[in-house]
Amino acid sequence: MKIVVLDGYTMNPGDLDWQELRDLGAECEVYERSSAAETVSRAAGAEIVLSNKTVLKRAEISQLPRLRYIGILATGYNVVDLEAARERGIVVTNVPAYSTASVAQTVFAFILEHCQQLARHAEAVRAGQWCRSQDFSFWLTPLTELTGKTLGVVGLGRIGMAVAELGHAFGMNVLANSRSPKPAAPAWLKQCDLNSLLSNSDFISLHCPLTEATAKLINGKTLALMRPTAFLVNTSRGGVIDEDALAAALHAGRLAGAGLDVLTQEPPAAECPLLTAPNCLITPHYAWATYEARQRLYRVAVDNIRAYLAGKPQNVLA
């Protein structure tokens, strides 16, 4: 049996060991990255193909007659044509919930950086500003305490709930909006409609999937509902925000700031309006990528293959 990993670098840039995967197949080839032109030739002859972002749509699948299993090295599955896979009887699996803790802590890294301005103050100290100070202490910006502030969480899946729990632990009031009410939610979490959440939150964290209903959910109209002192965080999908509208709001001072780990286009084009927007922290879609989260991702991906080989596939999408 031949196993091919089309783009292993993102999950494993060298700090994880591929041996556990290699032990499952008589032959195992791992590629760091595969272009669209290389995908079919590299996957040719493989019964099992693993992909993170390399596309396996109908055109590619139709050219891989030996393919029996596609393992997605992520939770999202838009890179694979599930209908084409079903027609061929190809099993498709993903890895859910591996990055919950990692993403949730990134949300609060954004929030705490906004409140404390750690990088700015550390740079000031390194530049000698504290050495020259007449006082034992100084601060360059207003500092904000989270206790008593209101956190609005849009989307109450695993990550959204983890963020809500962290907010509660910080002493924040927590509002939440979800596609469907969560009757088992704790008493401290107040569920409300989206407009109420946007209007009443000091911090807003987005955790919704990108669908027709959520595309550009944050736009000129919804941004106008937010307090000018509010801080917006997005670790879900870039497409849930109208980037032009958010950039305009930041430039006009209608929003205190934003922390974004995702953008509509990744990597972004140089002309992306948010790259030059004030008070906008952007990280390179790395909230999921702690060592521990990648370990879990790898472990579940290997377990998915073991389960498939044992005739009891798990985490099946198709």
Percent of the chain with pLDDT over 90: 96
pLDDT score recorded for residue 105: 98
What value does the mean pLDDT take over residues 243-272?
A: 97
Among the options 33, 266, 292, 306, which is catalytic?
266
Q: What does the alpha-carbon distance between residue 225 and residue 39 come to, in Å, rounded to a whole number? A: 46
Among the options 42, 168, 227, 285, which is catalytic?
285
pLDDT in tens, 29-40: 999 999 999 999
Q: Which fold has domain 100-278?
A: Rossmann fold (3.40.50)
Q: How confident is the model at residue 51 (pLDDT cuts 50, 70, 90)?
A: very high
Q: What does the alpha-carbon distance between residue 107 and residue 296 come to, in Å, rounded to a whole number? A: 20
What value does the mean pLDDT take over residues 285-309?
A: 98
237 carries an active-site annotation: yes
Among the options 207, 237, 294, 296, which is catalytic?
237
pLDDT in tens, 61-78: 999 999 999 999 999 898
pLDDT score recorded for residue 181: 84
pLDDT score recorded for residue 75: 93
- Model's pTM, two decimal places? 0.93
285 carries an active-site annotation: yes
Q: Which fold has domain 2-94+291-309?
A: Rossmann fold (3.40.50)
Q: Is 242 within 8 Å of 220 (Cβ atoms)?
A: yes
Per DSSP (E only), the strands in the chain are 2-5, 27-30, 48-51, 69-72, 91-93, 150-154, 173-177, 189-191, 203-206, 231-234, 257-260, 280-282
Neighbour-count burial for 188-208, b at 16+ CB within 10 Å, e otherwise = ebebeebeebbbbbbbbbbbb
The segment(s) of the chain belonging to CATH 3.40.50.720 are 2-94+291-309, 100-278
168 carries an active-site annotation: no
pLDDT score recorded for residue 73: 98
